[in-house]
């Protein structure tokens, strides 16, 4: 909204009003504003949640310090959502399809998580929202994202045409053409674009026409997997919040280089017109996570609940898909991945050994993985710090894949 105000002021030739044209300035303002909202207004929201007795119900799993968290306010994800949406609506271009998609995804996933927390807290149902409804909601937003990115006319990639004649070479105008594509970035491979339509290569010329049959299910799978991965990681104070902030910074870098012709050309990656606006959203996302960490760091004064964890996971997935970097998520979201895998391995191995030997055995002391280390008497704060370090290493590795081929 402020973008359009300052655009009007610029037309009136008011000095300094042109600064809002710069993505870097608006991204910096988004970080500051989201930090203020989450850190300052977050305290009032926490007090309100405590007053309404919106507290966490903790099961006794035999973990050190676990029962001391009983009654800690939950649904703090509302703070994160507000700190993302308000700066985004104020500072970004609201006619940008990528921003519209991110706002819709944030509200949609936030609502699913809110309903889950609401049922747990106010309806006293520990199971929360039924799993099938969560899946339906995640599939729903996956369909919206997939259909939009595939069919919307503003979602394109740009290819620059090398000049073939001396006249073209000396021209100040670089020839290019924009086209809709299902290409994405493939890590560690030179000229690393992979087109989903190539999976249907056996269909010949009809492959591109039916590429949505591959693209949309992949989008749904990624959003569902990353959203649940973040939800699984949210088990220790500050773990999901800090990890998500690191991932958010990385995705902001990807949005920056993908939306800038100079960087995209230098790094030999796809240039995606108008995707630079996602830097502002990513900046708000990082600021919201860091601001929330003020209250969520050990010992936590508030938990984000599913309102936050389902949302931040889905947001990360949609951001990565929008900038065509979703195939880097297994590296970038390695913490989420290993947390999910630890649960799957634990459950699968337990069922297998129980069926074969009559007694179930476990791979880990407890799953998800962070509880395995808790059972090993490692302090919660130390586990979180080490997971952050691993997350930071994975983020750096993800960024350097742009040149490591």
In the prediction, which pLDDT does 170 show?
46
Q: How confident is the model at residue 186 (pLDDT cuts 50, 70, 90)?
A: confident
Flag the least confident range among 80-89, 93-102, 266-275, 332-341.
266-275
Q: What percentage of the chain has pLDDT greater than the value 70?
A: 92
Average pLDDT value for residue range 235-250: 95
Phi, psi of 8 (to 5 degrees): -65, -40
Phi, psi of 297 (to 5 degrees): -65, 155
Instruction: Quote the distance between the C-alpha of residue 244 and its chain's center.
Output: 7
Q: Specify the pTM.
A: 0.92
Average pLDDT value for residue range 317-328: 95
Neighbours of 225 (CB within 10 A): 19
Higher per-residue pLDDT: 183 or 283: 283
Residue 314, pLDDT > 80, answer yes
CA–CA separation, 376 and 378 (whole Å)? 6
Average pLDDT value for residue range 18-30: 89
Residue 68, pLDDT > 90, answer no
Token pair 């634990």: residue: 346
In the prediction, which pLDDT does 171 show?
46
Six-digit token pair at 200? 């249907």
Helix axes of 131-151 and 212-233: crossing angle, nearest 10 degrees: 130
In the prediction, which pLDDT does 204 show?
73
Higher per-residue pLDDT: 211 or 227: 227
Specify the 3-state DSSP secondary structure of 73: strand
For residue range 75-110, list pLDDT tens digits in order: 899 999 999 999 999 999 999 999 999 999 999 999
Q: How confident is the model at residue 17 (pLDDT cuts 50, 70, 90)?
A: confident
CA–CA separation, 369 and 164 (whole Å)? 57
Higher per-residue pLDDT: 321 or 189: 321
């Amino acid at each position: 909204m402020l973008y359009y105000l300052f655009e009007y002021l610029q037309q009136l030739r008011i000095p300094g009003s042109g600064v809002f044209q710069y993505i870097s300035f608006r991204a910096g303002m988004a970080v500051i504003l989201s930090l203020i909202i989450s850190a300052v207004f977050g305290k009032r929201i926490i007090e309100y949640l405590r007053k309404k007795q919106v507290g966490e119900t903790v099961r006794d799993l035999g973990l050190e310090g676990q029962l001391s968290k009983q009654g800690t306010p939950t649904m703090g994800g509302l703070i994160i959502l507000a700190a993302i949406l308000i700066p985004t609506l104020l500072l970004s271009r609201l006619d940008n399809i990528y921003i519209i998609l991110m706002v819709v995804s944030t509200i949609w996933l936030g609502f699913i998580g809110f309903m889950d927390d609401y049922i747990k807290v106010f309806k006293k149902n520990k199971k929360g929202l039924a799993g099938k409804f969560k899946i339906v909601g995640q599939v729903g937003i996956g369909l919206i994202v997939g259909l939009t990115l595939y069919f919307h006319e503003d979602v394109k990639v740009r290819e620059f045409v090398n000049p073939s004649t001396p006249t073209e070479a000396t021209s100040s105008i670089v020839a290019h053409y924009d086209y809709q594509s299902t290409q994405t970035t493939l890590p560690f491979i030179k000229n690393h674009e992979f087109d989903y339509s190539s999976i249907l290569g056996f269909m010949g010329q009809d492959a591109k026409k039916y590429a949505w049959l591959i693209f949309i299910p992949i989008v749904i799978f990624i959003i569902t997997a990353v959203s649940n991965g973040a939800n699984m990681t949210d088990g220790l104070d500050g773990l999901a919040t800090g990890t998500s902030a690191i991932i958010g910074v990385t995705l902001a870098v990807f949005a920056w280089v993908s939306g800038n012709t100079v960087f995209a050309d230098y790094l030999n990656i796809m240039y995606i017109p108008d995707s630079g606006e996602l830097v502002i959203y990513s900046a708000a996302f990082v600021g919201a996570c860091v601001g929330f960490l003020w209250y969520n760091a050990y010992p936590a004064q508030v938990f984000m609940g599913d309102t936050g964890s389902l949302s931040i996971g889905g947001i990360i997935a949609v951001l990565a898909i929008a900038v065509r970097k979703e195939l880097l998520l297994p590296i970038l979201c390695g913490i989420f991945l290993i947390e999910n895998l630890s649960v799957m391995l634990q459950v699968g191995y337990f069922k297998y050994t129980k069926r074969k030997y009559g007694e179930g055995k476990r791979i880990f002391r407890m799953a998800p993985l962070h509880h395995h280390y808790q059972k090993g008497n490692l302090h919660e704060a130390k586990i979180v710090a080490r997971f952050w370090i691993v997350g930071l290493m994975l983020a750096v590795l993800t960024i350097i894949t742009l040149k490591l081929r």
